[in-house]
Amino acid sequence: MSREKEEALFSILSIYDEAEERRNVPESSGISSQHEHQAESHLEGVYGMSQQPPSSLTQHGLVYQEMTTGTPQHWVPQTPGTSELQATWLPQAGPEAAAELDPSFLPGPEFGRPCPSPPPSEEVWSFLRAFPPVPDEAVVRQRVPRRCWKVGRLRHGKKVYAIAISGSTHHVYTCGHGYIKVWDESALHARNKAPQAQLDLQDHQNCVLACKLFPDEQRLITGGLSRNLTLWDLAPTPRVRAQLASTGPMCYSLALSSNARLCLACFKGFVEIWDLQNQILIRKHEVPEYGSRCVDIAGNKFWTGGEDTRLYSWDLRSYQRLQQHDLRHEILSITHDPSEEWVLVGLRTSDIIILHTHRREKFKAVLHKYVNHHSLKFASCGSYFVTALDRRSTIAAPSLQRLFQVEEPTDVLCCDVSSDNQYLVTGSKNSATVYQLLY
C-alpha cells in the first residue's frame, strides 16, 4: 500500500484549547449543548498555528470536528466505560464502506443489512420504571485536572532520562548516568532537599534509559547502557533483587504487562520477552532494526516502532506480525490507555496517532511541530493523558481538549503521573520538576 493511501486511512483530529457550544444538533439526538470550562491559558491555535475550534462537542461524549476532505465521518459516542476513548467510527458512505471498516458493525443474515431489534416489552418497561432515580451526588464522574501547581524541584545532578512516581507513598525515582535517586514525599514540596537514598549502579559508566514501576509499586525494573536489566525491591529499603542478563548492549525502552508477569525490553533489532516471576528469558524476538526504539504491550499484543517510521503490532502468543502502519515520521513513544483498548503513538512531528487495539479505527491528532523529545503517559484513571514535547508539558483529555500547558526552561526528556492522579513529574537536563494537579 502506498504512503498516500495509508495516510488517507487516518481520520484527522484537532487538539483545541477551548470548548465551544455544540451547534446544529437535532433535538432527537439526546445530546445536550453545554459550555466547558475555559483552559487556564488560552493559546492561539496549536503551538502558534491557526486552528478552528471544534463545532461539535459535548461534555460527556466524544464528538470531534472532522478535518478530512473526503467522505464525512462521525464519532458515535458509546456508553462510558473504563476508558472515555471508547468510540466507533462510522462512515456515511454506505453499508459497504462500514462493512469494509469492520464487518461486526453490520450483523445480519445478509452482508450489509443489520438485523432489526424488537422493542422492549411492557414487562421490561414496568421493571425499569420500578427503579428509583439515581441522585446526582451518587453518580461517580471521572475528573480531569484544570490546572497545576509547580510545588518542587528534585536536584538529580545529571540528565534525567527516566522517571517514575508511586501513588501510595509518593516516592519519586529519577534515573540517569551512574545512579538512581529516591525522593520521599517531603522532597516533592521543596527545591533543594536531599534525596532519601541514592542507588549506585554497579558500573558507574552505565546509564538508565528506561524504568517501569510495578503495579503494586513495590518493585522497579530498569534498563539502559548495560547488558543487564535490573530488578529492584523498593520496600522496606531499595535494593537490587535480581540482574537479568540481556543479549544487547543498550535497552531503549521497557514495557510491563498489566499483571507484571511479563517484561518486554527493546534493543536494536530485537525485543526480549522476560518471565519476571521466574526471571527467565522466554524469547528473543527479531524486529526491524530501525523499528525498535519503542515498545508497549496491551493485552495479547505488543507494539514496536522507531526511526523507520513504521508501527508494528505483534501477537504475544504466536509472535506473528499482525499489522504494519506507515506513519511517515519517526516514532518517539508508544503508550496505551488503562483499558488497553487504545494505543497512542508520539511522532517526531508532535502528532499523536490513536489506534484501537482490536478494531480498525485509526486517528491522527495533528500538531506539525518537529521536536527532539516526545513522551506520552496516560493517567491511571483514563480520563486524560500527558504529552511532553521538548520544553512543553501538555495535559490533554480523551476529547483532545488541551486542559492546560506549562513551559519548562529545558527540554523535557520523560514524564510520569502518580497512580492516584495527584502528581505529575517531568525529567529534564539535571533535575526533575514536580507538579501537583488541581481538579
CA distance 104 to 118: 19
Domain range for residue 250?
147-438
CA distance 292 to 314: 13
**What pLDDT was estimated at residue 404?**
92
CA distance 308 to 353: 16
Answer whether residue 413 is part of any domain.
yes
Answer whether residue 322 is part of any domain.
yes
pLDDT tens profile 166-177: 999 999 999 999
CB 244 within 8 A of CB 229: yes
Answer whether residue 92 is part of any domain.
no
CA distance 12 to 353: 9
Answer whether residue 219 is part of any domain.
yes
- The DSSP secondary-structure symbol of 187 reads H
| Residue 81 neighbours by CB distance under 10 Å | 11
As a dihedral over the C-alpha atoms of residue 155, residue 157, residue 161, residue 163, rounded to 10 degrees, the angle is -30
Burial class (CB in 10 A: 0-12, 13-18, 19+), 387: buried
Which CATH number do you get for residue 215? Answer: 2.130.10.10
Residue spans of the chain under pLDDT 50 = 1-7, 20-114
Q: Which of these, 299, 234, 233, 304, lies nearest to 272 by C-alpha position?
A: 304
**What pLDDT was estimated at residue 107?**
39
**What pLDDT was estimated at residue 415?**
97
**What pLDDT was estimated at residue 126?**
80
Q: What pTM did the predictor assign?
A: 0.74
CA distance 311 to 59: 32
Answer whether residue 60 is part of any domain.
no
Answer whether residue 424 is part of any domain.
yes
**What pLDDT was estimated at residue 166?**
97
pLDDT tens profile 391-401: 998 988 888 88
**What pLDDT was estimated at residue 139?**
64
Answer whether residue 116 is part of any domain.
no
Answer whether residue 139 is part of any domain.
no
As a dihedral over the C-alpha atoms of residue 322, residue 397, residue 294, residue 159, rounded to 10 degrees, the angle is 180
Q: How many domains are there within the chain? A: 1
**What pLDDT was estimated at residue 29?**
30
**What pLDDT was estimated at residue 145?**
94
Residue located via cell numbers 547502557: 225
